[in-house]
Chain A
Amino acid sequence: MSNNESWGTRVGLILAMAGNAVGLGNFLRFPVQAIQNGGGAFIIPYLVCFLLMGIPLLWIEWSMGRFGGNRGHHSTPFILDALDKRPFWKYIGVFGIFTNLAVAAYYCYIESWTMAYVYHSATGTFDGLSQSQVAAFFGNYVDVFQSTTGIPFEAIIFFVICLALNTFILSRGLHGVERAAKIGMPLLILFGFILAFRGLTLGNSGASAEHPTASAIDGLNFLWTPQFDSLSNPKVWLAAAGQIFFTLSVGMGSIQCYASYLKTKDDIALNAASAGFMNEFVEVVLGSSIVIPIAAGYLGLDWVKENAGFGMAFQTMPYLFEKWGPFLSTIAGVMWFGLLFFAGITSSLAMGTPWMGFMQDEFGWSREKGAISFGTIVLILGLPTVIFFSQGVFDEYDYWAGTVSLVVFALVETILFSWIFGMDKGWKEINMGGDIQVPVFYKFVIKYITPVLLLFVFLGSLLTPIGNNWQEAFSQLFSGNGWTLDNGSIVKQITSAGLREQIATATDPATIEALKDKLLYISGARILLLSVFTGIGILVYIAHKRRLKTGGVA
């Protein structure tokens, strides 16, 4: 069965690409990163990294995708193979399918939380709950053996519904994805504007008796006040590069897959820039104007300083919306979690397409079969993250698939594109059919600056110094005291050094037993991820052999 799908409209393609990039991190990760890394000054390294690493990576991935697509490849193993004939590239390309499956496994779980919270907001579950009760609700929800509303195994049920919805949309092909983006993205932006407007105009009208001086403007002030001295700290630059990297969904293989359905003469220079800036708009304008101002407006700045993090979305926001009265709180809850749901589903749909494209190209599967197999794999891979959430399985997936794999793959594909495929050919690919001319200095940036920045991001994760304190680490190194690694560095994570230290220092037998169990679950998660990677590698090998037998190009 030939894979001759196509996008319906150009705007639909851009919305789908922007939807792929816009995720929960735009609203939850960006403002927290800004607060922790220099406030308003963070925007300087952030925008510098966007221009020198983010946009170039988008152009690289769009170009690679279109180049491979015009040779009949719609997933990274054979897209990379088309760029250079050395046989190992197709196995490096396995990252571009593996990452999507593994990230979808836990990402769809988060997506199902947003779906469940839309339901709970609409049905008034949070009415009259105190702040601690709303926070406890989340803890009960993710414990699958507890029921928050009488629905048994509620977290699993919402997870399955969410997967079924993803599978259904994916089975409609690119047009299904495009339609979801055309509905989801405008609604996301509309909901974001309404909530941001409410947040920005809150003033100190919401200040409670416990926090009489609370003001939403304090939150904005806190977020945007620049600490320019932070710019000399490498940690801030690495955080900015990391944020740009993760917000654009680069290094996953999904952008290449979407772009592989373009024809040679179609523009990618303008399309990629437009999709990239749409993501930045959602992140910088909307992402900074909702969670932090609203939280500061009710709970005060001190609370925000202590509690800013991912958990605020689910553990705090429903309580804050309750302050707006029964009607408005329902609307606000539905909008907030609906916004997060749209951000999530437009990304998870993109994660399904590389696997589907691969099976359609290489094994002649129909898109329905591809979609159902994607849903099934994600269900099998995702259930351990749902059932053993508190045992660290979720975090393990996030770390290896959602962090390390992305950086490794982006670094390698950039080197392949600019150094092995060659910058002259690469530059021609980027500008071919372009509706804008990419400034010529980007030829230098893509060849030298982007790979070096990616190398810094990778080394920064591999060798993170203790406490992520780079200034102190360099000072110790130059004093001859060596380099002490943080337990969060890749090197230490491989051996689970942090967990082993906890086991060694624990004295309570029950705690030691629980930590040992956690180690076991984490090892199981790693074996599972490794098996998936190996399995895809074997499929690529089989596909390669089939192509040789049938006289294919690989």
Chain B
Amino acid sequence: MNTTALIIMVSTMLLVASINAYFFVKVWRTPPRPEPDSFDENDDEPR
């Protein structure tokens, strides 16, 4: 594999994977909003 192709491939994949991971982890770590919110995982009673 030529060097330019390798650099472009690795840098593109790392960039996209890192940003994806950053956003997903941020979603994961953000504490849920106080009720009432849009999600029923933390509801007292099922809707």
Contact = CB atoms under 8 A, between A and B. Distances in A.
A10 B8 contact: no
A10 B2 CA distance: 42
A10 B3 CA distance: 41
Given A224-B5, A261-B38, A278-B24, A285 B17 contact: yes
B22 to A, nearest CB: 8
Given A220-B5, A225-B4, A266-B33, A10 B23 contact: no
Contacts of B36: 263
Contacts of B6: 224
B14 to A, nearest CB: 9
Interface in B5-39: 5-6, 8-9, 12-13, 16-17, 19-20, 23-24, 26-28, 30, 32-33, 36-39
Interface string A243-256: 00000000000000
Nearest to A273: B23
A43 B37 contact: no
B27 A270 contact: yes
Contact of A271 (B17, B27, B37, B41): B27
Given A224-B6, A284-B13, A6 B47 contact: yes
A139 interface: no
Interface string A219-235: 01101111000000000
B18 to A, nearest CB: 10
A274 B26 contact: yes
A40 B1 CA distance: 12
A186 to B, nearest CB: 12
A479 interface: no
Contacts of A324: none
Contacts, number: 98
Interface in A432-456: 433, 435-436
Nearest to B34: A265
Interface in A200-239: 217, 220-221, 223-226
Contacts of A277: 16, 19-20, 23-24
A203 B1 CA distance: 11
A223 B12 CA distance: 13
Contacts of B40: 6-8
Contacts of A284: 12-13, 16
A43 B39 contact: no
A221 B23 contact: no
A224 B10 CA distance: 10
B9 A7 contact: no
A245 B37 CA distance: 31
A5 B33 CA distance: 18
B47 to A, nearest CB: 6
A278 B20 contact: yes
Nearest to B6: A224
Interface in A478-507: none
B4 A14 contact: no
A9 B39 contact: yes
Contacts of A278: 20, 24
Closest 6 CB pairs of A and B: A274-B23, A40-B8, A224-B5, A281-B20, A277-B20, A224-B9
Given A8-B39, A270-B30, A274-B26, 13 more contacts: A7-B40, A8-B40, A13-B39, A14-B24, A224-B1, A224-B8, A224-B9, A225-B4, A266-B33, A274-B27, A278-B20, A281-B16, A285-B13
Interface of A: 4-11, 13-14, 39-40, 43, 47, 217, 220-221, 223-226, 261-263, 265-267, 270-271, 273-274, 277-278, 280-281, 284-285, 288, 433, 435-436
